[in-house]
Chain A
Amino acid sequence: MPDKQRSIDRVKDIVYQCNRCAHCFDLSWLGEWNKCPAYRYGAFESYTGRGRFFIARALVDGAMDYDAEIAARVFACTECRACAEHCFKYLRTTDIYAAMKEDLAARGLVPEKLAAGLADEGGLGQYHNVYQAPHAERLAWLPDRARVDKPAQVVFFVGCTSSYARQNMALDTYNLLTKFGVDFTVLSDEWCCGHPYLSAGETEKARASIEHNIEAIKKVGATQIVFNCPGCQRAFRDDWRQLTGQAAPLAAMHVVELLADWVTRGKIGVQRFRPKTIVTYHDPCVLGRWMGIYDAPRDLIKAIPGLSLVEMPRNRRDAYCCGAGGMIRYDFEGMANLAGAERIAEAQSVGAEMVLSACPACVMQLQQSRQRAKSRMKVMDITELLEQQLVPLIKG
């Protein structure tokens, strides 16, 4: 019999609404293109949105109970939200997956490597970052310690990947904010944003992590947070609201939103990019489908003379996940590699010489995929490009 405490039972009205129409499978309006990396990888329908709804329905009806096979289908989801974006009935498919993840976590069915990575001892709980690096080294990239914890209007929330794995991205954002005179600070006690906990179904830990960061931000008196990582931004902007029913007391903005606004209003200057280069833009799932930010990065790219933006067949709401989402690399490395390879091939197919994105995780994933593919295409975070091309206006 169904356990009354299960999260899946709280969302059973959504489970029952699935029409099984299969709109979560394809991007047929673009030809025979895949939409869901998990389906591409797992191949059986159980990896699709419809499949997970079938499973959820069986759980609600008591026809199945949670086990490792169900866990594999649910945790293979990259949380790209492509299924929700095209759901015929506009169902919040990801709410179902989140509920199933909560239930699986409560039963100790989180896949082994992800569970270890997020563990209280030896994992995220101990180090407060997903790289299990010493917390004290979080700001090792920082050129000026005077920025730390100083009272300021704006907090630059660096995030784990920029802090530990791609420190150049932290530095690029730091330099951009400095160059344009933003009154900002960075936090000495920044923890993981909590987003990875949600991917593992550890809702309470996610809430605690966001709460810790909000308290730290309050101490410096800031009213705005700037991110270069969409996952971190979402934690403050949307996840906190979902978890607590209340909006975070801070404006949460991606750095591309900030810069696009300044560029389009003529507040900052733009230098020509040399040599002329064909670029394509990879929409990070969280920035795009989750938060609806499609135009700001494109506006910035288009504003730079010398760059020619070509779109991949799958772009904006149809963009294909690069495989970095949902923390899947921990336990589904083959799938992450497959998705990354497919995205790099797609970028190559439109003749791009450079792939830009606006997410440290996506950029890291695409850079690794490019290397494996032995492609000569360059992969860059948009902040790196902007740090080179955007300049203060010369007064007079």
Chain B
Amino acid sequence: MNTLVEELAAICGAQYVSDKMVDRICHTRDCGPTPGGIPAVVVRPRTTEQVSEIVKLANRVKTPIFIWGRSTTFIGHGIREGCILMALDLMNKIEKMDFENQVVTVETGAIWHAVDVELGKHGWELAAPGPGGLFVCTIGGSVAYNAVPHGLLEYGMTGDGVVALEVVLPNGDVIHTGSMGNRAAGGLSFERYANGPDLAGLFIGACGVFGVITKVSFKIHRKPEKECFAFYGFDSIDVAVDAAHALQRRNAPTHLVGLFGGPKPTGVAGDAFLHIVIRDSAASAAERLAATHAICSGFNGIRHDETATEKYWVNHMYSWLRNTPPEVYYSDRPYTCPEAAMFMPTQKVKDAIRYLFDYEKEHAEEFSRYGIRIKAYDVYFSRNAAFLWIDTLYPELDAEAWKYGVQMRADYSEHLFREYASPGGILAPLAPHIMPKLEGGFDFLHFLKNQMDPNHILNPGVLMLGE
């Protein structure tokens, strides 16, 4: 046993530390195509104090830490060979369900949907229904990555639901943001924008480069009285985007999804599609649904049976967006996805989809040779913008196809980020395509990283910070 393992064991207990290859190999890659290095050791702290001690130790021995929640992103962590892999899965308790102040406080490794289920027993829910991986992803990881949740249009980004954070800084100090920061007043979580600057904002979407989120206080609200659904097909993508834009302006949907590429929904007519979810009181939901029908009809939308929309929303299975049961949809896709996802102005979706279709045509020969398939060009619409998912698939058994898939992602990321798009989650592989474009902003992030983490301990290389 080496010294690092012994010191980690002294902090957490020997059973929570492993330097066995069989354990380390399991922490090298997320759901995306890009493998990272193999960590030197895996450690599983159970308390904030242990996280703090691990960070201090890493500084002492100058060994980087990579933070691991459930690793359900599609981009790639960029884990460094020989690092300390800190898995936060054991920190998964619900600390407090505060219905009076409409906040739940959980440890970072709590699973999103599991927390929602516990709140649901009391008639409440998290202020956002969670990202695509909600059945398995951690709340801390979703906040660190600022994942795009279902219900984006009404509920906003994951970060919008954050009230307060507990964070272990790169030097091992522990801080609390927002009203939680006032320790003399008991550190109550009820307001994010209290006690000066919005410190939580520094850590939301930062992918762990500025601190380890160990606790999250998140907004909660009562479950709405009514959920209703609509599903429309349109003759063209441009018209569907215009309809979506009108729905955004009317603020009618809670959740609005556009399908603009990939397989068409089974058994329905149209070239582009909108799924609409509305959640509200019964009276307001009816009013919003009427407005939705009026807008979609005005754009010559063809109304389809909304059962697929409901199944998608209730089961949280994307396959239903295409009116297909998951066992058919997913089992037919033995591929890995080099995903890129990005925000853009709503009207720019038309240009982006045209560009992607042109890219497919120009590269038809390579697509055929490498078995590249388009799973989806889907859009989650926010209050005033669009979040486009470019889900391409490649057969992972073919090393050349893998290279092509990754290059393809680089191509369209580079193009779209240069034209009008900005990515949501970035992590390591997308960073070269966006961070240098931020110019002074990137310089400032470098400055912050170097000041806060001079030894480049936390997630170095992620966001191209702390090389």
Q: Do A and B come from one complex?
A: yes
Query: Which A residues between 1 and 40 are near B, CB-CB below 8 angstroms?
Result: 12-13, 16-17, 19-23, 25-26, 28-33
Q: In the complex, are the beta carbons of B334 and A29 less than 8 A apart?
A: no
Q: Which of A16, A26, A89 contacts B333 (CB 8 A)?
A: A89
Q: Does B174 contact A (CB under 8 A)?
A: no
User: Which A residues are in CB contact (< 8 Å) with B28?
Assistant: 54
Known: A30-B117, A31-B117, A55-B22. A22 touches B333 (CB 8 A): no
User: Which B residues are in CB contact (< 8 Å) with A185?
Assistant: none
Q: In the complex, are the beta carbons of B22 and A29 less than 8 A apart?
A: no
Q: Besides A28-B117, A29-B113, A32-B118, 16 other CB < 8 A contacts?
A: A13-B334, A19-B337, A20-B72, A21-B72, A22-B133, A28-B136, A29-B135, A30-B117, A31-B114, A44-B42, A46-B23, A46-B25, A54-B26, A54-B28, A55-B25, A69-B22
Q: Does A182 contact B (CB under 8 A)?
A: no
Q: Does B327 contact A (CB under 8 A)?
A: yes
Give the residue name and chain of the B residue nearest to A22 (CB).
Answer: B136
Q: Which of B29, B42, B71, B118 contacts A31 (CB 8 A)?
A: B118
User: Which B residues are in CB contact (< 8 Å) with A67?
Assistant: 22
Bound: A73/B117 CA distance, A: 31
Q: Does A262 contact B (CB under 8 A)?
A: no
Q: Does B8 contact A (CB under 8 A)?
A: no
Q: Can you pick out 24 interface pairs between chain A and chain B where the beta carbons lie within 8 Å of each other?
A: A13-B397, A20-B30, A20-B72, A21-B31, A21-B136, A22-B70, A22-B137, A28-B111, A28-B113, A28-B117, A28-B136, A32-B92, A43-B90, A44-B23, A44-B26, A44-B42, A45-B23, A46-B20, A46-B25, A54-B25, A54-B26, A55-B25, A69-B21, A89-B333
Q: In the complex, are the beta carbons of B26 and A50 less than 8 A apart?
A: yes
Bound: A28/B72 CA distance, A: 15
Bound: A33/B21 CA distance, A: 28
Known: A22-B136, A23-B136, A28-B135. A46 touches B110 (CB 8 A): no
Q: Does B44 contact A (CB under 8 A)?
A: yes
Q: In the complex, are the beta carbons of B136 and A64 less than 8 A apart?
A: no
Q: Does A63 contact B (CB under 8 A)?
A: yes
Q: In the complex, are the beta carbons of B22 and A64 less than 8 A apart?
A: yes
Known: A17-B334, A45-B87. A23 touches B42 (CB 8 A): no
Among A13, A22, A50, A90, residue most surrounded by chain B Cβ atoms (within 10 Å): A22
Q: In the complex, are the beta carbons of A51 and B26 less than 8 A apart?
A: yes
Q: Does A243 contact B (CB under 8 A)?
A: no
Q: How many A residues, CB 8 Å from partner?
A: 36
Q: Does B102 contact A (CB under 8 A)?
A: no
Q: Does A350 contact B (CB under 8 A)?
A: no
Query: Which B residues between 84 and 117 are near A, CB-CB below 8 angstroms?
Result: 87, 90, 92, 94, 110-114, 117
Chain B interface size band reads 35 or more
Bound: A48/B87 CA distance, A: 14
The 5 closest A-B pairs by CB, nearest first: A28-B113, A22-B136, A28-B114, A90-B331, A45-B26
Among A20, A25, A26, A43, residue most surrounded by chain B Cβ atoms (within 10 Å): A20
Question: Residue-by-residue, is A64-86 near B (CB-CB < 8 Å gives 1, otherwise 0)?
Answer: 10010110010000000000000
Bound: A25/B138 CA distance, A: 12
Give the residue name and chain of the A residue nearest to B15 (CB).
Answer: A43
User: Which A residues are in CB contact (< 8 Å) with B20?
Assistant: 46, 69
Q: Does A88 contact B (CB under 8 A)?
A: yes
Q: Does A58 contact B (CB under 8 A)?
A: yes
Q: Report the minimum CB–CB distance from A54 to chain B (whole Å).
A: 4
Q: Does B330 contact A (CB under 8 A)?
A: yes
Bound: A13/B336 CA distance, A: 12
Bound: A13/B21 CA distance, A: 23
Question: Residue-by-residue, is A209-238 near B (CB-CB < 8 Å gives 1, otherwise 0)?
Answer: 000000000000000000000000000000
Q: Report the minimum CB–CB distance from B164 to chain A (whole Å).
A: 22
Q: Which of B44, B70, B330 contacts A88 (CB 8 A)?
A: B330
Bound: A13/B334 CA distance, A: 8
User: Which A residues are in CB contact (< 8 Å) with B92?
Assistant: 32
Bound: A42/B20 CA distance, A: 13
Q: Report the minimum CB–CB distance from B264 to chain A (whole Å).
A: 22
Q: In the complex, are the beta carbons of A43 and B113 less than 8 A apart?
A: no
User: Which A residues are in CB contact (< 8 Å) with B118?
Assistant: 31-32
